[in-house]
Structure 1
Amino acid sequence: MVRRPAISSINTKNKNDDVHSLTRHPTSSLYMLVKKDREHHAWQLPQGGIDPGETVLQGALRELEEECGQHLKVNPVETTSSFYYQYKFPDAFIAKHKRNYIGAKVQFIRSDWISGQCQPDDHEIVDFAWLLESEIKQYVTPEYFNAITPLLRYPNSSS
């Protein structure tokens, strides 16, 4: 999860409401969502698999770079995952991909944005948005929003 904390150095009279802009809502925290190249459940927090031998933190940072580009720099505020979201794959997905497992357990690592901008890989990720917590529910399912809400609330959060 990537949070852009409030930025006091930005002119707060800026009315930029482009969801791709890091300067929107400068006095509030913004959270980056990415859009997968699919019709259903396309918007989510950045996520991906962990390779053999990787820690959750190493996997999270690698996946973030693969999906969002090397210019996006973050500072992990935790080194182990304290939140997860678990879900079952749709039956059609299981049949199509011939998977031996029926769902996924996604562990999240909270991080704060330092510099750079998301540059989607246009393969896995086709779009992104920097959103207020209240805006996230317009992009994701109610179940996903309820699952990630505790993740969004951590010390020094100014939503």
Structure 2
Amino acid sequence: MTDQPVDESLYRPCVGVVLANRNGEVFVGQRIESDQPAWQMPQGGIDDGETALQAGLRELWEETGVTADLVRIEAETEGWLIYDFPDDIAKTRWKGRFKGQRQKWLLARFTGEDDAVNISTAHPEFSEWKWVTPLQALEAIVPFKRDVYERMLREFDGRI
């Protein structure tokens, strides 16, 4: 993470969703392709012509089965939060085109019941999921994303 100007073309535009329940807990999912602990919140690329909101709602549905009618968007990060991939990931993902990701984050209040969450989607990304406190989420996130999560959670502080 840097406060210096960056070449945005080196960073994949992405959106993340903090899905928060009525108890102030947040959704985290264990990445399906990882045999190590690799928890994260729903996130994914912003397609051409999509807004961060549109992409966030699409990614939320694709990864959790939660539909737009079961959430209330309460906030969006002011700017882009940027992180670099570890070298092994940067070389292999997206054919090495990106150095990392730049993310907008949405705070989405889940208004449904837990049985509306379904990670067995058409293209599953998570092997399991759970509700955790924001601090527990921060501690569970893979280290190279931790700074972005910390900045995002600080920006949403008091609203989750």
TM-score by length of 2: 0.70
Please say which of residues 110-119 and 69-78 is displaced more in the overlay. 69-78
How far is the alpha carbon of 1:144 from its aligned partner? 4.6
Q: Describe the shift of the 1:96–1:128 C-alpha distance in structure 2 as closer, same or farther (beyond 3 A).
A: same
Distance in 2 (CA, whole Å) between partners of 1:83 and 1:5 is 26
1:112 maps to which of 102, 109, 114: 109
Q: Secondary structure at the match of 1:138?
A: helix
CA change 1:83–1:109 in 2 (3 A) is farther
Deviation by residue 1:67-93 (Cα, 9 ceiling, x = unmatched): 001468211113x54254321112222
Runs (4+) of structure 1 moved beyond 4 Å?
A: none
Q: Is the 8 A contact 2:83 2:148 kept in 1?
A: no
Tell me, yes or no, if structure 1 residue 139 matches structure 2 residue 140.
yes
Q: Which runs of no fewer than 5 residues in structure 1 stay unpaired?
A: 7-28
Deviation of 1:153 (Å) = 1.3
- Structure 1 residues 97-127: Cα deviation after superposition (integer angstroms, max 9, x where no partner): 3222211012101110110432113731222
Per the alignment, residue 5 of structure 1 pairs with 22
Shift of residue 35 of structure 1? Answer: 1.9
Answer yes or no: is the 8 Å Cα contact 2:22–2:111 preserved in 1. Answer: no
Which structure 2 residues correspond to residues 75-86 of structure 1 after superposition, within 5 A? Answer: 75-78=72-75, 80-82=76-78, 84-86=80-82
Decide which structure has greater helix share. Answer: 2
The aligned counterpart of 1:64 is 60
In structure 2, distance between residues paired with 1:153 and 1:54: 27
Unaligned runs of 5+ in 2: 1-17
Instruction: Tell me the residue number matched to 1:23.
Output: none
Residues 1:125 and 2:107 aligned together? no
Task: Give 2:28's aligned amino acid.
Answer: L
Deviation at 1:148, TM superposition (A): 3.0
Report what 1:18 is aligned to: none
Secondary structure of 1:2's counterpart equals: strand
Q: Which protein has the larger Cα radius of gyration, Structure 1 or Structure 2?
A: 1
Do structure 1's residue 34 and structure 2's residue 24 form an aligned pair?
A: no
Q: State the aligned residue count.
A: 133
RMSD: 2.5
- TM norm structure 1: 0.70
Residues 1:92 and 2:88 are matched in the alignment: yes
Is residue 2:148 matched to residue 1:149? no
SS at match of 2:111: strand
Decide whether the 8 Å contact of 1:33 with 1:129 is kept in 2. Answer: yes
Letter in 2 for 1:74: V
Contact 1:82 1:109 in 2 (8 A): no
